[in-house]
Amino acid sequence: MLKEIKNICCIGAGYVGGPTMTMIAAKCPHINVNVVDINDNRIKAWNNPDTDYIPIYEPGLASLVNEARGRNLFFSTNVNQAIQDADMIFISVNTPTKTYGVGKGMAADLKYIELCARQIATVATSDKIIVEKSTLPVRTAEALKRILDNTGNGVHFDILSNPEFLAEGTAVSDLLNPDRVLIGGEETENGRLAQQALVDVYANWVPKDRILTTNVWSSELSKLTANAFLAQRVSSINSLSELCEVTEADVDEVARAIGSDSRIGSKFLKASVGFGGSCFQKDILNLVYISKSYGLNEVADYWEQVIIMNDYQKRRFAKKIVETLFNTVSGKRIAILGWAFKKDTNDTRESAAIYVADYLLSEQAELVIYDPKVTKDQIFSDLDYLGSRSTEENRDLVEVSNSPYDAVENAHAVAILTEWDEFVTYDWSKIYNSMLKPAFLFDGRRLLSDELMREIGFEFYKIGKG
Ligand SMILES: NC(=O)c1ccc[n+]([C@@H]2O[C@H](COP(=O)([O-])OP(=O)(O)OC[C@H]3O[C@@H](n4cnc5c(N)ncnc54)[C@H](O)[C@@H]3O)[C@@H](O)[C@H]2O)c1
Ligand SMILES: O=c1ccn([C@@H]2O[C@H](COP(=O)(O)OP(=O)(O)O[C@H]3O[C@H](CO)[C@@H](O)[C@H](O)[C@H]3O)[C@@H](O)[C@H]2O)c(=O)[nH]1
């Protein structure tokens, strides 16, 4: 019998769990939504009465949280209670690349997922629909099912795969108006009923023709494939950016010309200092690892090249700075504008800025960093995490500034690493005047006009233009 969902629990209050559950609560006032996490500080921040301080910066999110929180949206650390009360449980915990053991540096680390499954198996006393929201290797649902079905307490679990396609910085609009919602289910009577129950939740605001249903394995694999295709476009255009620089072509002009072909399309062709974020690299590595584990070495090599190109692009940009500054940046002050992996987010995971900064620090540069939304603690923690030098050395060589104008003062060079809109509006003549001369400006995001910057007096380099 089709079950009407009244209580949802989401395990994991991060960049996906937080915004996704807020949207479900906002659009389904008849459903109670409990978002739970083991991270007490994160939950405290979600419950902060002042929604300016919720843990995730995402345009439009604070007002949605204000609308639903305390009505039918709750954040708590009481995982067991939320599991017990729920008809449907979303698992939205992190699935980072493994940093140890077999598959180190490539396979997805599924320990958090397995812990959730074991906790659900222990605590649940009534039938549940379990929804994989985290991005997972194809066939993970099989492992989840084995853990859940071995409790011996007679509880029935249906497992669905419902990967999330939101991009950070546009999470609210992506959730409000998704291109598609994908729901994979088992091809059994129970599986179809569970799938329909989740379709009915999304149908509260998503048109039915945008809700796709597939089998579980197609759904799991589609998520990895979507990210691999998107990242491949960025690496493809970035590979061409270098060719543009040596041939006097302009990569934006090339992108526009090819993007006008409706078979190619115009999105995701912006050349940059390299893609970052918590998803692309991790998910492609995961795809590479799965392919290798099935013995499909050519398939694995094909996708790995997307990552190799991306690492090269970050290194190439940093090297360009050193070469242009007369082959040494030792003791030179370089201002970095932007630390987040893209604009409109405070997320810095795998941000290109971290790797460019690390390269410059290894060349003994002194860095001053400014980002409108990233905290000083986060910046130091990102640099410390790399382990390239001691925490003391990082603090000696790096300063974090609250003002872009202070950051650039007496700098030999400025490098733009995130495409924040506010960077375009700065008084670039004032910046030029406060820098050492010659004043070098490196635009890793193609934000600024070459003519204008050269007119002001900058020695200007922009990715993808000779
Ligand atoms: N960030 C994105 O834009 C995005 C988009 C689509 C899909 N995804 C996928 O969604 C998943 C979550 O990503 P995220 O960015 O939200 O991660 P995140 O690190 O921001 O959040 C995960 C949260 O899960 C919590 N957690 C871990 N184990 C737990 C447990 N056993 N019980 C309770 N809480 C636990 C952590 O404390 C953390 O707060 C990943 O699989 C990711 O690949 C992310
Ligand atoms: O033309 C482009 C587009 C993107 N990027 C960079 O690529 C990275 C990723 O950007 P984006 O995809 O917009 O952000 P994410 O939040 O990482 O979202 C991706 O990863 C999510 C997690 O799986 C998926 O849900 C989304 O659909 C997918 O777009 C960022 O560093 C961007 O600056 C470029 O350099 N050029």
Instruction: State if pTM tops 0.95.
Output: yes
- Ligand 2, CB cutoff 6 Å, lining residues: 135, 164-168, 227, 230, 234, 268-270, 272, 275-277, 279-280, 341-342
Which position among 10, 116, 244, 279 bears the catalytic label?
279
Ligand 1 in reach of 94 Cβ (< 6 A): yes
- 328 annotated binding-site participant: no
Q: How far is CA 368 from the centre of its chain?
A: 25
- Closest C-alpha to ligand 2, atom 29: 167
Active-site residue flag, 279: yes
Whose CA is closest to atom 15 on ligand 2?
167
Determine the distance separating the centroid of ligand 1 and the alpha carbon of 55, expressed in angstroms: 13
Packing angle between helix 140-148 and helix 111-123, nearest 10 degrees?
Answer: 30
Q: Band the pLDDT of 151: cuts 50, 70, 90.
A: confident
Q: Is the pLDDT of residue 440 over 80?
A: yes
C-beta separation of 391 from 384 below 8 A:
yes
Q: What is the pLDDT of residue 310?
A: 98
Handedness of CA 215, 216, 221, 223 (dihedral sign): positive
Q: What string of DSSP letters covers 405-460? A: HHHHTT-SEEEE-S--GGGGGS-HHHHHHHS-SSPEEEESS--S-HHHHHHHT-EE
**Percentage of the residues of the chain whose pLDDT score is greater than 90:** 97
Say whether domain 217-466 belongs to CATH 3.40.50.300: no
Domain boundaries, the chain: 7-206, 217-466
Mutation test residue for ligand 1: of 11, 46, 76, 94, the one with most atoms within 8 Å of CB = 94
Ligand 1 binding pocket includes 164 (Cβ within 6 Å): yes
Q: Do domains 7-206 and 217-466 have the same CATH topology?
A: yes
The reply to whether 96 sits in an annotated binding site is: yes
pLDDT number for residue 4: 87
CATH of domain 7-206: 3.40.50.720
Ligand 2 atom showing the smallest separation from residue 345 Cα = 16
Reported ipTM: 0.98
Chain centroid to CA 171: 11
| pLDDT above 80 for 152 | no
What does the pLDDT look like over 26-52, one tens digit per residue? 999 999 999 999 999 999 999 999 999
Our CA dihedral for 76, 80, 82, 84, rounded to 10 degrees, sits at -170
Q: How far apart are CA 238 and CA 419, in angstroms?
A: 16
Percentages helix, strand, coil for the chain, rounded to the nearest 5? Answer: 45, 15, 40
Ligand 1 within 6 A of CB of 135:
yes
Q: Which atom of ligand 1 is nearest to the CA of 164?
A: 6
pLDDT in tens, 283-312: 999 999 999 999 999 999 999 999 999 999
For the CA of 20, the nearest ligand: 1
According to DSSP, the β-strands at 73-76 and 32-36 are parallel
Phi, psi of 345 (to 5 degrees): -145, 155
Nearest to 271 by CA among 304, 224, 245, 238: 238
DSSP designation for 267: T
Question: Each residue of 311-326: pLDDT tens digit?
Answer: 999 999 999 999 999 9
What pLDDT shows up at residue 150? 84
- Nearest-CA residue for ligand 2 atom 11 is 167
